Amino acid sequence: MTTAITQNRPLPRSYMPEEDKVGMTQNAIYLCESVDADEAGDEEAAWQWLALAELPESANYILKEVCGDEFLKAKGFNI
């Protein structure tokens, strides 16, 4: 699974209300934050939140094929 390199990095800007996070797993929060950031027009935060999520191998494969390794590394993915 792809995970982000998070050492010494602050979390991206949050777009999700705290009350919406109650009962969610950390991974679900990362994915929802990514969607909310994208909907708010903050592409950088959307990628940063997605980089924190544990994605299935099939999603990792598609991201690598479409975006390329260097792009994903620049966005914080540990590939």
Say how many CA atoms lie within 13 Å of 77 toward its Cβ.
Answer: 24
What distance separates the 2 farthest-apart alpha carbons in the chain?
A: 36
**Dihedral angle sign, alpha carbons of residues 7, 68, 15, 3:** negative
pLDDT value of residue 37:
98
pLDDT value of residue 8:
64
pLDDT value of residue 12:
96
Asked whether 49 and 12 are in contact (CB, 8 A), the reply is yes
Asked whether 37 and 49 are in contact (CB, 8 A), the reply is yes
pLDDT tens track for 8-56: 678 999 999 999 999 999 999 999 999 999 999 999 999 999 999 999 9
Q: What angle do CA 20, 21, 26 make, to 5 degrees?
A: 155
pLDDT band at 3 (very low <50, low <70, confident <90, very high): very low
Q: Is the pTM of this model over 0.75?
A: yes
